Amino acid sequence: MFFTSKKRLLLFCLAMFVILTGCNNKKSSLEKMYETLENVAAKEKVFEEQQEPLVTLEKKEKGLYDQIIGLGMKEYDEIVKLSDEALDLANQRQEHMEQETKSIKESEKEFKKIAEIKGQIDDPSLKKLANELYDIMMERYQAHDVLYTAYTEALKSDQQLYEMFKNKNLQLEDLEGQVVKLNDSYKKVFEANESFNKLTEQYNDKKLTFYKKAELITK
């Protein structure tokens, strides 16, 4: 079923940045902060690449669903054919979701390095921003865990529905019950997605504020 795509991290172009350099070869805490945050964004490239195919698959699957419910049992063979196609699309969505989640987990592993780095920042205002940035991002990772769980459960409900369509003895009340379950599942997906998007926006805004205040960007 179709739902809004997840938002992505802001990946700044390296050419836009002026990296702070010290008088010696040892990297400053701000340099390490910058490098780690940019590595985090790079780790989510695979996550970003999953968004377009996921939405495309969701739209195709919705189209098959609409065709199925428009058919009568006299066209049972066609219902089975379309249901199998929809099941294949649902499986493909699961694969993309797994790739997305793997990318997020790699991002999280890299981001946790910030916990130590931010403690080395001397400027109180910058340290405060770094702490806020860290808290928002960790909450974002938790939000994605919720989203992954909700999306996976919704996919299972989709798959169950397509299998039900292939049952010649399907009872209307059973079908209605599954549709209610499915709608509830995607309501949870929508809510989880909204939360994740909101935290992503907050993180991107806070990151930009930190970069500007630390003079890590020229404009």
In a structure prediction context, what are the per-residue pLDDT tens digits for the chain, which is 219 residues long? 445 556 666 554 433 443 433 333 457 999 999 999 999 999 999 999 999 999 999 999 999 999 999 998 789 999 999 999 999 999 999 999 999 999 999 999 999 999 999 999 999 999 999 999 999 999 999 999 999 999 999 999 999 999 999 999 989 899 999 999 999 999 999 999 999 999 999 999 999 999 999 998 765
* pLDDT in the model for residue 216: 86
* pLDDT in the model for residue 10: 59
Burial class, 52, CB count within 10 angstroms (exposed 0-12 / middle 13-18 / buried 19+)? exposed
In three-state secondary structure terms, 142 is helix
Q: How far is 167 from 124, CA to CA, in rounded Å? A: 65
Q: How far is 42 from 40, CA to CA, in rounded Å? A: 5
In three-state secondary structure terms, 89 is helix
